[in-house]
Amino acid sequence: MSNLQDLQSQILADIAAAVDEAALEAVRVGALGKKGSISALLATLGKMDPERRKTEGAAINRAKEAVTEALAARRDVLKAAALDAKLAAETIDVTLPMREPLAEQGRLHPLSQVWDELTAIFADMGFSIAEGPDIETDDYNFTKLNFPEGHPAREMHDTFYFNPKEDGSRLLLRTHTSPVQVRTMLSKRPPIRVICPGRTYRSDSDQTHTPMFHQVEGLVIDKGSHLGHLKWILHEFCKAFFEVDNVNMRFRPSFFPFTEPSLEVDIQCRRGKDEIRFGEGEDWLEILGCGMVHPNVLTACGLDPNEYQGFAWGMGIDRIAMLKYGMSDLRQLFEADVRWLNHYGFKPLDIPTLAGGLSS
């Protein structure tokens, strides 16, 4: 009996000394587990005579109950202590400003925002999106677009060329998204209504030019397309994009190899100290170039200019983003400054729609 009392005292002492639930579980297994010390004593009862079994069995069961109660009590104490420690470590200062939800913390780049705005506007007019590779052939980038040999755009100071191939031909980084128009005309039959947004590359770098920038071009090819349709599309686009009720436009003669006639488009604006407001004022701002697709381009793309005609336009996405959202330096668009992005960026879940407002 004295051995049982000593064993019980030792187990109770181990229970009291357990510093966490893992240590307490180890004590329980050592005492009451399948091979535990008290379980081993209970296993010996079967070999005892009835009188002795009755006496020692009662003593062993009392020890087992005492150990079980001590385990339960110590477990409650350890759980309470663990909860107190967790609460102390995770205390919230309710006087601090509420944290912005994770879904609201990031910001969408203004170029991505404007790209989505363009898509929403022209999709509403029935246009589809066409895309093409950034690395192009000389044929698609220049020849099929009626650029003659010796044109300045074909020179190294204006275009990024790759090393010559064995046959002497050279790939290049496209200088405009017009090759996408060529690919579209070669792969589809009219009527065609597409816009072609994407990255373009030229050897320029200053406050208003970067070696890589973004363009969006539009193309309509049909049997009855004319400049009146082009003017309406551009007028409706400017109203929707700049979110004004009306905007006056001025068309000026110009020259582009791939259109004839070619036009530059100015829109009415008021220039303030820190902003440009559209739809009012006495100033004019050039915003894009356009024109009727040159018959040579139609022929090069396998279309009969006596049967089909069309028009095209192009503008810089970076430029119209700067005009709309008041950014002064084109280079800031590509500097990856988080502070700048937090100021000019857009919440990622605010998808631009014509019904809800493009930049709401």
Instruction: Report the amino acid identity of residue 168.
Output: G
Report whether 275 belongs to an annotated binding site: no
CB 354 within 8 A of CB 125: no
Query: What distance in Å separates the CA atoms of residue 305 and residue 268, rounded to the nearest whole number?
Result: 34
Query: What distance in Å separates the CA atoms of residue 4 and residue 6, rounded to the nearest whole number?
Result: 5
- The alpha carbon of 120 is separated from its chain's Cα centroid by a whole number of angstroms, namely 17
Instruction: Report the amino acid identity of residue 110.
Output: P
> Of 330, 324, 331, 328, whose CA–CA distance to 346 is shortest?
324
Question: How would you label 130-153 residue by residue, b for 16+ Cβ within 10 Å and e otherwise?
Answer: bebeeebbbebbbebbbbeeeeee
Residues in the chain: 360
Instruction: Report the amino acid identity of residue 160.
Output: F
Binding site for Mg(2+), residues?
Answer: 260
Binding site, residues?
Answer: 260
